[in-house]
Structures are given as C-alpha cells and as structure tokens.
Structure 1
C-alpha cells in the first residue's frame, strides 16, 4: 500500500492544500448569502445574481486557464491564480457595496477556473498512468473532507465577526500559495509541451472539433444538471412536503459527506481494475436510480436509501471523469482539455433553474423521475464518446 501511494511531493502538497483551502472556502462562501442579507442588507434578487456570477465566470474562464497552463506553464498560472484568490477573499471581508461583491465573486470564479484545471493537469503530469485514478479519487476525498469541516468552522468563527471567515480564508490561501511556491521550486515538475504552440482561437478550434471531448462534455452537463438538484430543489421539496423536512435534508447532506469521506478510497481501489468508462456508466446508473428514488420516497428511510445510492454513484462518477479527460487529452494539451471540461458546469447553473420550474409545474414526484431519466441519457453521450476513443487509442487505466 505504501508503494501505491508513493506520489510526487508536489502532488501530496496539492492534495493536502485541497483539504485546507476547501475547508477555508467552505466556511466562508456558503454563508455569503446570509452575510449579504444580514450585514449588508442586500435584496434577495441581487444576492442571487451575485452568487450565480461565480459558477458563470468559472465556466467561461476554465478553457482560458487550461490553455494558459499549457502555453506558459502550470506553475505560473497556479501561483498567479492563488495569489489573486487570497486577495479576493480578503476583499470579501472589506467590501461594503454590492457591486464590489459582484466583482469579487466574478474573480473568485475565474481564480478557481484557472487553478483547478492547472492543478489537475499537474497531477496527471507527475503521476504514473496506472495511479491516476487513485490520485484523482484522493483529490475528490480531500475536497469532501474540507467541505464537511468548513461549514462547522464557519458557524463558530462567524460568531466573533461575520467578516472573519473571509479574512481567515484569504490568509489560508496565501499560506497555501507560499507552500506551493516552495515545493515547486524545490522539486522538478517538468511538463510535456505541445510540439506546436497554437493561438487561443486555433486551440479552441481544435478542441471544438474533438468529438470525443464534445460528447463527454454534453454527458457531463446532463450529470451536473441532475446533481445540482441536491442543493436546489431537494431541500425545497422536503421543506414543503414533509414535516421537519429541513432536518431531514440536513441529515441527508451529512450522510452524503460522511459516506464520501469513508468510502471514496476503498471504492476507488475496488474499481481500479474496471475500465474507466465502465466506472462512469455504473455511477451514472446509480445516480439515475437514486434520484428517481427521491421521487418515489414517502418516508425518511427511503430518502436515506436513495441518498446512499446517489452517493455511491457520485463516488464512482466524479473522480473517473477526471481520469477520462486525462486519457483523451493529447500530450502537451492536458491543461487545455481539463479547462474545456469546465463547460460541464453549464449544468450546475441551468439545473436549479429548470429544476425549480419542474418542481412548480409537476411536483417533486415527477421532478425527480424526470431528473433520473435526464441523468440516464448521459450514458448515450458517454458511450458514444468512448466508442470513438477506443477506435483511436486503446482504453487503459
């Protein structure tokens, strides 16, 4: 086991930093809406727009961030992004006008969209192909550990000052940047560069012509469209349809986080011998069954069972999508492909809108059944993309 976890020191730095920075951002950003409402007296419409600007800018900026990481190097992009990210969070603590919060959240999304594809590409650069599924699974575990701890810390720290979580987050990102700078200077992180450096427009043309990537992104949009219901329509449905629905929702979210932390690594090891696309398809099927289960559930125990199924699907799907992007990316363009994959986030901000409309028009029963079929339809795109890929390159783990 020790040998199997013998990752590059920079990879371990990225994994460890992911826990601390996700914990930091999770103790601040989930409370941004409350902070704007209570401390800044901003109206709900403007709050909604402000919150939505981050995923929107992240989606649009992902391709640019990935392209730059291939063109000028992962190190420059990552360190620049995290330095600005630190300033952004400190800015949240000091801002006193809604326009400033909007600008800061746009920058927050851009920093994420520049840093995340570059860091994932670097993990791929520095890890043997046979271990990449495991390293991306550990990354996903790190994200969830941070996301589980962060809100608890946020509630406690905000008790001293509502702006303090943002300031502490800025400091933690700064420290993470310093640690990365030291490790990147100490250890070699050479990346394969493209044989021919293309302009941004030429690179975009190449990516758009890659049918495998396009089919993968469409499948990812459908999956993210469905998964976004967990944070949007599911709490609304439970609150209006069940006694103590809010309590039930909080228990479901806690169950999801605990299961991901406990099962991510063993399930990733268990599935390592499966072809990557098989793992994704099993996960999507479980997603579909679990979400449809929400529609049929009439008691808390059935919601719990459905959430267990959804969580196992999540554990299989999300890390494996990173592995698949790594597999299809041409040498020297790994960052660009991870950046282009950020277009899957279209599902994250379109899902809650369409899901809310479905909830009003059809009710929760049909909403979640329809969502299950939407997620299931992603298999058509994933399998088509995989068939094309198998014709050009042998599928390997």
Structure 2
C-alpha cells in the first residue's frame, strides 16, 4: 500500500489524508457521546439514542444536497468550507451550554463529514483512470478504519482528564487538515462541468429517481447497511440479553479489535483485486460472508468463536464496501458523480435502523431471531443488487446492438 501511495500525485494523497484525519477526529469523540450526553445533559439511554441516531439521519439526508454542490462547485473551496464547518461543529460542541445547540453541532459535524467524503470520491474519479479506482477506494477505506481504530483510545485518554477535551482535540485535527489543504490542495480540482447548463436540485433529484440502477443499488445498500452499519450496537444488545455485562464487554471488545485488525490487515490486499469486470460475483461473495458471519454469531458460545465469526463477517465488509463504490462509479455520469455518491450515502439510514429493529425483536421474540431477521435483510439487499446489475448488463447489450 505504501508503494502505491508513493506513486500517486500529491492531489490524490491529500484527498486520502481527509478520511484518515477527519475520521480520527470523529473516532476520538463520537464513541463517548453516550457518556457525555448522560453526564452533561442528564439524558436517559432512550433520549441519548434518539439524539445520536437522528443527527446521523439528518446529516445523511442533507448530504444529498452536498452531492449536488460537489457537481456545481470547485472541490477545493467546497472541501475547505466543509472542513471549516466540521471544525466549528466540534468547537461548538465543546462550548455548547444547551442541548439544542449541541444537537445542531452534531448535525453540522455529520453533514460536513459526509460532503467531504463525497467530494473525495468524486475527486478520485477526476484524477485517476477507471482501472485504478478500486485500489484507491480500498486504501481510503483502510485509512478510515485506522482512524476509527486509533481514535477511541486517544479519546479515552483525553476524557480521563476532562470529558469535554476530546471535542477540543477533534476541532484541532479539523483545523490541521484545513491548513494542510489550504496550502497544498489542488485549486483546479473540480467535478463540475461548466459547459453544461445549470439544473435545479429538485430536477436533478427526479433524474436520479429515473435511474433504475441507482435506485436498486441504493436500496440494496440501505438494506445491507442494517446488518453491517452498526453491528457493534446490535451485538451488544443481543449479548446484554443473553449473557452478563462482564461477558458482553469482553466479547464486544474482542470483536471490535478483531474487526479493526482484519480490515487494516486485509482491506488493501482484497480490495485492490476488485474490478469492474466481476462486480456482481464480488458482491455475492461479500454478502455470503455476511450470512456466514451471522450464523457464526448465532452459534458462538466462547470468545474464540466470536472472534472467528467476526473475521468472516469482516471479510464480507471488506468486499462489499469497495464493490458498492465501484458500482456507483461505473453508472455515474461525470457531471452527476456528486449526486450519485450522495445517493449512495443514504445507505447509512439503514445503519441507523439496525439497532432499532433488533431492539424490537429482542423485546418480543427469542434473542437468536435477530440473526434470522438480519439474514433476511442481506438476502433482500442482494436481490436489489442483482436487479441493478442485470439492468446494467442489459444496457451494455443494447449499446452493443
């Protein structure tokens, strides 16, 4: 991976630094939001979940307009502007005396992060040929997971000094990236095509809804994200019901560490091999690994079995993430890449639904039923992927005729 990074132009390296630095900033703070909201604003567990979940949902929905801006504005200005909002969001969260202001800051943080992520992916499409994009997506995902793996440890150390300090450190990282990109960022980088007529946001949205392939891939991603988007949350819910708190903490800690190490160790090796030619097969393989991992979770009785199941589950994650990006990259018109990537971000709505649906099942059915439900979501997501892929194949045949 380091050899590949060395041969990339500076513009690509700077874009790759965004997921590492900004994800690290989020990883330092967001895992401790439950504790912070309970201690600072005296929220119950239910209210805390509502605050965190709703800010993620609002940020995801608004990011669709962010994708529209990616297609209309120079990437340099948009990334700097969103980075400033990201930084001010953390600074505001550090200073916020009231819950409503803290809530607004969380929305801004999630929105700015999502728009920068869209701009980065669109930038890759502008700077690199098609054959090199799967590799750069894999590197991006690896760096993102490094940020998520390291961030919580730094946040825990800072929180011991003062529970508000992680927000200040996250703001500092945002400032650091802003300065880095301000000085060395590519000022000419843009996904916008000035030769094309300007189209209103709602008109573009209707155009996207008419793309059957995009609708299928978005629905497939949303349904699949119910399973892999917030797996730590629903596994914790399951373990709390079926074991002791001590066992839950031990298993979840081992599972999260396994997930992070597996992604960091294997993502680049596997992801760089994913190509446009066999995307359907790769997605089928990844979704199959999810189902095998879920079966393993349902049958696991020891920490070792949980770790093995998590390795299998994570390999599915390693395959599906870059394969999804490659599908969208394949169907997105050059002048609408931002909107297409923004539509793909709507899959995070599924991640927010996962813990909610699992909580309902755990409250009304035997605990292991959640794995049946999650497997059904994988199958349903796979069906939508197949529908999208088949329509893509039909389009190719028509072009050939």
Q: TM-score range by the shorter chain?
A: over 0.9
Q: Which has the higher mean CA deviation after the structures are superposed, 37-46 or 61-70?
A: 37-46
Shift of 1:4: 8.2
Q: Once the two structures are superposed, what CA deviation does each residue of 1:211-263 show, in whole Å capped at 9, x if it has no partner?
A: 00000011001110112451222112223323512211110111010110011
Are the equivalent residues in 2 in contact too, given 1:221–1:347 (CA < 8 A)? yes
* Matched ranges for 1:256-271 at <5 A: 256-271=259-274
Q: What's the counterpart of residue 189 of structure 2?
A: 189
Q: What's the counterpart of residue 347 of structure 1?
A: 350
Gaps of 5+ in 2: none
SS at match of 2:157: helix
1:310 equivalent to 2:321? Answer no
Q: What's the counterpart of residue 172 of structure 2?
A: 171
Q: For the residues of structure 1 that align with 2:15 and 2:124, how far apart are their CA atoms?
A: 8
Are the equivalent residues in 1 in contact too, given 2:74–2:188 (CA < 8 A)? no
Q: Once the two structures are superposed, what CA deviation does each residue of 1:289-334 show, in whole Å capped at 9, x if it has no partner?
A: 2113212323333322211110000000012211211111012111
1:198 equivalent to 2:199? Answer yes
Q: TM-score, normalised by structure 1?
A: 0.93
Gaps of 5+ in 1: none
Shift of 1:276: 2.2
SS at match of 1:158: helix
Q: For the residues of structure 1 that align with 2:109 and 2:5, how far apart are their CA atoms?
A: 35
Q: How many residues align?
A: 393
Q: What's the counterpart of residue 341 of structure 2?
A: 338
Q: TM-score, normalised by structure 2?
A: 0.92
Runs of 4+ residues over 6 Å off in structure 1: none
Q: Which has the higher mean CA deviation after the structures are superposed, 140-149 or 3-12?
A: 3-12
* Matched ranges for 1:39-118 at <5 A: 39-118=40-119
Q: Once the two structures are superposed, what CA deviation does each residue of 1:113-155 show, in whole Å capped at 9, x if it has no partner?
A: 3222112111221111101000000000001000000000011
Shift of 1:190: 4.5
1:277 equivalent to 2:288? Answer no
Q: What's the counterpart of residue 252 of structure 2?
A: 249
* Matched ranges for 1:213-224 at <5 A: 213-224=214-225
SS at match of 1:298: coil
Q: Which has the higher mean CA deviation after the structures are superposed, 115-124 or 237-246?
A: 237-246
Are the equivalent residues in 2 in contact too, given 1:42–1:98 (CA < 8 A)? no
